[in-house]
Amino acid sequence: MSFEAEWAQFKADAVQHHAPLMRLASTEQSATEGLHPAGVDLGLTDGPIRTKASEIQLANADAKEKSKLDDAAAAGKIHSGWAAGPASNACVSAWQKRLRGLSDVVEDAAAALTKAMDKQISDDVSVAQRLRAQADWLEDA
């Protein structure tokens, strides 16, 4: 099957799937029935995104616990009289600082993902409500 034929098939399937959602409510229905945003599946699900953001936050918290580099820090303290001891401590400190910085970036990204998803869904529901209001107006015209 060519790309064009496959694309045409996908478009036809999408139109057929969404056709019932695209029709205006009939005049036999009240203004609160039909394609009211609360009753229509707009495909605005936040579950998968919330789940992924939560997984990111859990993994980040788990990584914070595991990235303390305790063994390296202990080795530096035990061998503090050696020339490598202070260097080891400085290395551990630098890595911990870097890992905390990366952890903060991950935390901020998960929070931004959730915030952006909330705004997108809110905007889409708002558009659906305005469309419904205009459809109601057209039905009454």
Q: What is the pLDDT of residues 92-120, one digit of tens each?
A: 888 888 888 888 888 888 888 888 888 88
Average pLDDT of the segment spanning 3-11: 80
Residue 21 structure tokens: 């959602």
Residue 88 reports pLDDT greater than 70: yes
Q: Please give the helix or strand (H or E) that residue 25 lies within, else none.
A: none
DSSP code per residue over 55-118: HHHHHHHHHHHHTS-HHHHHHHHHTTTSTHHHHHHHHHHHHHHHHHHHHHHHHHHHHHHHHHHH
**What pTM did the predictor assign?**
0.48
Residue 18 reports pLDDT greater than 60: yes
Q: Return the pLDDT at 29.
A: 43
Residue 4 structure tokens: 């064009």
